[in-house]
Each structure stands twice: as structure tokens, then as C-alpha cells.
Chains A and B, each alone.
Chain A
């Protein structure tokens, strides 16, 4: 009952996090990856066998790039170290002849005999990027809609004291909460550390959606079951409080197992999935918290508000 009784405290805590996230997103915006805004990413490796003194410094590499500015203008390169022997260089989207010029100035002649290794070369046109961004937004909207409909359907037999579609709405409020918090974190990390939002990040958000609905449904399911067996006079708040208690250990343990896997993925899985793992860790933690401390208490708030309104309508008539 602790959580239901102190729900205002949890609402405030979440509100602060959500507002901070929204502010971060509004002020700094998100640093979009090349798969959304278009552009080029080149990952170079300078193996120790060919570069005994280590990789050339960043200024050298940048001057190599600017030396071809007559042929390939406005590249606007930015460079970043990766590992001990590599660099990641970001540029605008390049055409095929420009790519050839770029590779030759960087010392990449062909893959077999060269000393500088091109580990990765991605160049994505702005049209394709915009298309990916649109598809991602569509996917999120469809997932949210599908989840409201599914919950309304799965809980269709529950109508007292609040109707089934309200469970769906409450679940979606939780979802928005769980998605905004990691997004806000990435706005902050993007501003200070250059973390980018790419398709993998969107995938992480969608998994968070799936996972947190999973969590929320388990609690709601318990509410549904307890409602069915409860005596008529038992207050709704009490039923919800008991349901939270009964599912509490399960929620924590399930999240823990997922988080174990994700923390390992973060530390061992390599750089390509590190930010993905971080987004998931934050999102799933937020999801577990919201399914316990926000979702079900909101049902109680809604029920109380409904009862109050009905009461007012009654007294108003008198």
C-alpha cells in the first residue's frame, strides 16, 4: 500500500524527470546520426605494425582532408578517436568520385596492401535519411496505437470501477514517460559527449515500449484478477495496492535479469552496441519504475477523480 498511498511523491519525482528531459530535448535538441540526416562516416584504423609511432594526430588527418577541398568542397569534417589506433571521421554525404578522392588522400589505396585500413565507410543520402526518420516515427506511433487497442481488448471484461480503455490510456502515459527519459538523457549526452540518435536508438526505444507494456500488463492483469475475486465493498485503491505488492518481486527480478544481460552487453559487446545498451538500460529501468510507481497508482487517481465528479454531480443536483 506504500506506493499507492505515497503516489503523489512518485508523480512529482517522475514529473521532474520528464520535465528535465523535455527541457533538454527542447534546448539542445537531439544529435541525429547520419542514418537520419544523411552524411558520411569513415572509420579508419592505423595498425601498430605499419605505424610504430602510433596513428597520426587529428590535425594531420584533417589537413589531408582539406588538401582536396578544391576537388571536394564543403566536406566539414569532424574527427573523433576510437580505440587506440583508430579514428571516426564524419563528413557530408559524398558522391562516388568524391569518395575515391577522399580515400586516396587518406592513404587508402586498396584494401589488401594498404597500411591504413578502412574499417567502415557509410555514406547516406539526405533523402534516404529523411525516409528512415519518417519510418521510425511511424513505427513508434503504430506501436503505441496497437498497444492501446490491444490492452483495451485484453481487458475488455473489466469495466468496474474504471473501463478497459482507461487501462490502455494509463499504459500509454507510462510508455511516454519511459521513452522521454532516455531520449532526454541522449539529448544531454549528445550535447556534452556527442552521443548520436540513430536507427539503433529508435530500436531501443521500441524495445523499451514493448518491455514496459509487458511490465505494466503484468500488474494490470493482477488488478483484473483481484477485482474478480474481491468483495464488492473493497476500495479500489486497496486492490491496486495489493496487486502492486504481489507483482513487485516479479517486476524487479525480471528487470534485473534483462539488466544483467544489458550491462554485460554495454561493457563487453563492443562499441557498435554500447549506446544501444545504455538507452535500453535507462529505458527498462524507467519502465519498471513506472509500471510499479506510476501506472497502477494512476488507475487509482483516475478512479478517485471519477468518484469525486460523480459525487459533485449528485450534490449539484440537490
Chain B
């Protein structure tokens, strides 16, 4: 008994300490964000903190399947560099589903400039036009207008798989004879090999250098280039050549991307959602608490304490893991409060049945826990399965945000129901089996009936 009491007191003290941690870390995160406690604020999702969520679709059709993943990582690195240049705090750039890139910009709601900067980066491609093709073109396009000629010619170029992905560096140089600015390219090992074999096979053919689908230069191959060096000599101004070099070095996109989704949430909407979430949490806690105490009496008080322990543990976990809280996540948390109560209700109902059968209080309590356990275990397992599936198949941050909180909540509630509730209940269990204690541990609003039932039933079972 002393041991049980000690454990119960320890659980209470720990819960209070966790509660203090939750409270003060929130206070310090505003006043002293770098202090030990202040490093654990609640992490709010974009829908609560305000900000922008962009989804880009990458076109991987030109990339061999084996290189898709590495291209996406290269793309992620390039976009990250671009995004970091905006000076946004904690931007997120991540690959989703193999061919999508998610960019999150917390606090940024005026994103037109950001999108323009991300999208500005050029796609560099090398394509080949054979001399034979060129002759055919010359005869077929003779009667066409200049614009038609250009588009037909562009379409005749064949991709050779050499892209900006294989670029090591670019530099600004000046042509030694004309003094015009040129852009020198230096390929990586893969690019060098490919460029060497292509130039070897295409002597006398034209290699078109395309930037964002536009041909900027179309030199004729004079001799194989084996060292991975190439030059683009378009009709550049110095400024344009400089910009191209910078973009190629810092932002040549390995694969073309298109913006498929833009979501921007203003900060005011987020604030009202946070306040709404807090209000809902407090009000539902009070209503559920009142219901539990009215119906389950003394065990109801225990359940409310256990629910308090559950709440502080959850809040602390949100800070420590950290879980990015969204409106859906908060809704998930509120639902798990309802589910956390269920384990207690199962136990108390079972306890009441044992009391009705005429078991002494201590035995009834013990049996209540033991017999409710399979139900608690099986039903929570099915909830956890549901949550995990949701987490893995949830396509949007709304669903995954909900699922994560839901799974954590179910696991923690199982723990608080079987440890905290049990310890608290054992501690307050009276030694004598008086009418008053039976009343306190019984439940429902027809208390007279349940007390008489408890007295009468043993006679029936003895038959």
C-alpha cells in the first residue's frame, strides 16, 4: 500500500513538473527563445502560424528511372539555396511522392516575388541536329515564314540526355578574337563522358544549347571535345552573360518543374484557429470532467486527474518531438481526449458489475482492471492501425498532421489509463466496505437501485 501510494504521488509530482515545463517553456519561448526552456515552443503548422505552402511537380520524363531520386535531391538542393536566399526563418523544402517538391515558407504571405524567384531558374539542355536532318529541314521549310521555320527547326533537335544536372560549373569569359562575352561550361564526370561521346559521333552536326526551351546557341561540332569544357557564345550582353552564369551555378534546375499548388494562409486566420483550438480544449475538458464526476463519482475524480496527466504529457510531447500542430491536429487531440476517457469508462463499468456481483471493493477494483484490459488493448490496437495507415497514405499535411497526433494520443492514453488511473484508484480505495464507500465507487444516477442491487445479488448467485 505504501509502495502504491509512493508511485501515485510520484506520478502526480511528475505530472505537475511536466505541466510546469509546458507552461514555462511557452513563456520563455516568447521572452528568451535561446534559453534552455525557451527552445521548446509549440511548433505551429502553416495553417496556424500563417505562411505559404507550394507544391512543384517535377517532369522526370527525360531522366532515366535509376537517376530520378538523385535528380530530385539535386533539385531539392537547388531550390533550398534559392529559398534560403529569401531570409525566411525555417523554410522547408522536401521531396514528396518521388516527383513532387514541397516548399513551405512560414510567415510569408506575399509570395508572388518568392514564386518568381524560385521559378526563374533556367533549365539547360543540349540537343543535336544532324547534318542530314538539316538538309531535309532546309528543303521543307523553304516556303515557311520565319516563325514557322524557327519552331520546326527547334522541334527537329533530338535530346541527347545532357542537361544542366551534369554541369559542374559555369564561368564568364571573353572571346579572344571578338571580345564578346561567352559562358564557359565545365561538366562533371558523367557530363564529360556524355559530351565526349556525343561530339565524337556528331562531327559536322549542330549542337543546340537550349535554355528554358529557347535555343540560345547552336554551334557546329568541329572536333570531339573530351575534356568536358564547352562554350556558349550567344549574342550576350555582359550583364545577361553574368546572370546566366549565376543562374547556372546556383540554380540550374536539374529537371523542369511546374507549380501545381499554392496555399497561402494569413496570420489572422491562423491566430483565430489557435484561439479556437484552445477554447475547445478547455471547454470540452470541463464538460467531460463534470460528466465523469457526476456519473462515476469518486472514480470519476480519478478519471479527471488521469485526463489531466494525459493532457500535460501530450502537450509536453508536442513540444519535445516536436509535432507540428495544425488545426486538424488539434481536432485530433480533442478527439483523443474523448477516447482517453473510454479506457476509464470501461474499467469503471466493469468495476460496477463486479460490485453488483457482491465482490468486495478491493477485489472489484482489481477485477475491473483485469477484465477491461482485453477490450482496451484490442480497441486501441485497431485505432493505432487506423492511425498508422492514415499517416502513410495521407496525401496532405492535413491528414498526416491529424494521424500523428491521433496515434500518439491513443498510445499515451493507454498508458495513462492503466498506470495513472489504476494507481490513483488504489490509493483512494477505502479499507472498510461501508455503504458510503460503495456509493462513492458505484455509478449512474439511480444510486439507490445500484446499492440495493449490490446487496441483493449475492443471494442470487449463491443459489
Seen from chain A, the residues whose Cβ lies within 8 Å of a Cβ on chain B are: 35, 43, 45, 95-96, 99-100, 103, 110-112, 117-125, 127-128, 131-132, 135-136, 138-139, 142-143, 146-147, 150-151, 154, 199-200, 202-203, 206-207, 209-211, 213-215, 217-218, 221-222, 225, 246-247, 249-250, 253-254, 256-262, 264-265, 268-270, 272-273, 276-277, 280
Contacts and interface: CB of A to CB of B under 8 A. Distances in A.
Nearest to A119: B266
Contacts of B288: 257, 260-261
A138 B279 contact: no
B280 A203 contact: no
Interface of B: 47, 55, 57, 97, 100, 109-110, 112, 115-116, 119, 259-266, 268-269, 272-273, 276-277, 279-280, 283-284, 287-288, 291-292, 295, 327-328, 331-332, 334-335, 337-339, 341-342, 345-346, 349, 353, 371, 374-375, 378-383, 385-387, 389-390, 393-396, 398-399, 402-403, 406, 444
A262 B335 contact: yes
Contacts of B283: 264, 268
Contact of A269 (B110, B264, B291, B331): B331
Nearest to A121: B264
Given A199-B399, A264-B280, A264-B283, A99 B331 contact: no
Contacts of B332: 207
Given A111-B110, A200-B398, 7 more contacts: A119-B266, A120-B266, A135-B394, A207-B406, A210-B382, A217-B379, A268-B279
A221 B378 contact: yes
A36 to B, nearest CB: 10
B105 to A, nearest CB: 13
A256 B346 contact: no
B328 A139 contact: no
Given A121-B264, A272-B47, A96 B346 contact: no
A213 B395 contact: no
B385 A143 contact: yes
Contacts of A203: 328, 390, 394, 398-399, 402-403
Contact of B345 (A118, A253, A261): A253
A154 to B, nearest CB: 5
Contacts of B272: 270
A310 to B, nearest CB: 30
B335 A280 contact: yes
B262 A118 contact: no
Nearest to A277: B331
Contacts of A246: 353
Contacts of B57: 125, 127-128
A269 B280 contact: yes
B383 A127 contact: no
Contacts of A117: 266, 268
Contact of A250 (B327, B349, B394, B395): B349
Given A132-B395, A135-B394, A269-B280, A210 B387 contact: yes
Nearest to A224: B374
Contact of A210 (B269, B353, B383): B383
A264 B390 contact: no
B334 A261 contact: yes
A255 to B, nearest CB: 9
A218 B390 CA distance: 22
B264 A147 contact: no
A152 to B, nearest CB: 12
B103 to A, nearest CB: 13
B394 to A, nearest CB: 7
